[in-house]
Amino acid sequence: MAVGETVVEWERIPSYFEFIVGIYRYVVESFNQLKDPDYDFPKGTWRDIKSYWHFNTSCILTILLMAGAWTIVRHFSTEWIFKPVGKLFALSPHNQAKMPESAWKFVYSSCAWTSTVYVVCLSGRYQFFHRPSMVWDNWNINTPIPTDIYILYIIQCSFYLHSVYATLFLDTWRKDSIVLLIHHVITLVLVSGSLALRYQNIGILVLLLHDICDVQLEFTKLNVYFKIQGGRLKKHHEHIANFSFCIFALTWFVSRLYWFPLKVLYVSSQNLVDRKISIPFATFLNFLLWVLLAMNIYWFMLVLGFLFKVATGQMQEVDDTREYDVLEKIEKKGAEHSCQQNGDICHNVQSDPHFVSSVRSRKLVQTKTVLANGKAVKAGH
């Protein structure tokens, strides 16, 4: 070990049982505080907002301007870089249309996560990841936010504001888009709230543990889009996509379902009770963190559902099962597989005029619904 080198001591991670007991104790403590007769709700809450909410006009304007800048940068990146790359590699028209979204998210999330890793883990200035309980050391509502963390916060806050707009008007609409929109709003409230209330130390941990999964997800999807070039299968992209998805699933569990609850949620709740620290709006922000954990569980169930489809032969390749065109393709393959097993029965059913009429009616209703929502899709086979 070099002279003067700091030895990093890792804090013990609590078990899931300790986490559940700690959350229960925190909820009981919070409920008792709400019953305090000296606290006048909602007047007391509004008084606390005016007293503790440090969010000046220049900060708000910076976030709004940067959110608009992200939208402009995405537009020109899509038109001048991502779309030409899709044409250069002769991707299918379908993949050319979807690739720019993943490319944009991959570039941003890679840069954001790498910067966060450097600041939190490699710069030597903080030990929040190794010793999460240090996030509350010397906490004070009037303490200035370190410049490096402040810059990361402004970038992330503005990007999530852009993401709310992008989910509604730019991104492909998927079956979990409503959940994703709620996620972006909650994250925006958490990031801005922790910035205003000087909870940046724990907030930066949340960003660190979540952004890595976004990097791996978009990297996997990019390889899925690039595996067919000029109508020919590129096996190396298929192998990379398969391997990357396995790493993504493992990372999701470790970072979002193990470290996030046991490093972040435990410290943001039980640690406050143990150290008898009273901070404003802790219960509200913790509630949003718990909702975020519920969303992480929901998305992990989708990952497990995909693995089940692979194990049962419903899918033979990595794809985004949240997208409606992928779901339609899976249903079509499942119907064809069922027809092959049932032979003449399937042929007779499909020859039945009532069956044909039912299928046509269903497609007509689906088409009208899609057009009513302003979505352009390719119907039929």
pLDDT at 43: 55
SS (H, E, C) the chain: CCCCCCCCCCCCCCCHHHHHHHHHHHHHHHHHHHCCCCCCCCHHHHHHHHHHCCCCHHHHHHHHHHHHHHHHHHHHHHHHHHHHHHHHCCECHHHHHHHHHHHHHHHHHHHHHHHHHHHHHHCCCCCCCCCHHHHHCCCCCCCCCCHHHHHHHHHHHHHHHHHHHHHHHCCCCECCHHHHHHHHHHHHHHHHHHHHCCCHHHHHHHHHHHHHHHHHHHHHHHHHHHCEECCEECHHHHHHHHHHHHHHHHHHHHHHHHHHHHHHHHHHHHHHHHCCCCCCCHHHHHHHHHHHHHHHHHHHHHHHHHHHHHHCCCCCCCCCCCEHHHHHHHHHHHHHHHHHHHCHHHHHHHHCHHHHHHHHHHHHHHHHHHHHCCCCCCCCC
What's the predicted TM-score (pTM) here?
A: 0.79
Per residue in 154-199, pLDDT tens?
A: 999 999 999 999 999 988 887 777 888 888 898 898 888 888 888 8
- Among 101, 73, 309, smallest CA distance to 224 is for 101
Residues 125 and 146: beta-carbon distance below 8 Å: yes
Please give the backbone phi and psi of residue 39, each rounded to the nearest 5 degrees, phi first.
Answer: -100, 120
pLDDT at 99: 93
The length of the chain in residues reads: 381
Domain ranges of the chain: 16-311, 324-372
Query: At what angle are helices 147-169 and 57-77 packed, to 10 degrees?
Result: 50
pLDDT at 313: 65
Per residue in 197-242, pLDDT tens?
A: 888 899 999 999 999 999 999 999 999 999 989 889 888 998 999 8
Please give the backbone phi and psi of residue 323, each rounded to the nearest 5 degrees, phi first.
Answer: -85, 140
pLDDT at 272: 81
Tell me which of 46 and 235 has the higher pLDDT: 235
pLDDT at 31: 77
pLDDT at 358: 46
Per residue in 114-170, pLDDT tens?
A: 999 999 999 889 988 999 988 888 887 788 889 999 999 999 999 999 999 999 998
- In the chain, pLDDT over 70 holds for what percent of residues? 73
Residues 176 and 301: beta-carbon distance below 8 Å: no
Per residue in 296-306, pLDDT tens?
A: 999 999 888 87
Residues 90 and 230: beta-carbon distance below 8 Å: yes
pLDDT at 305: 84
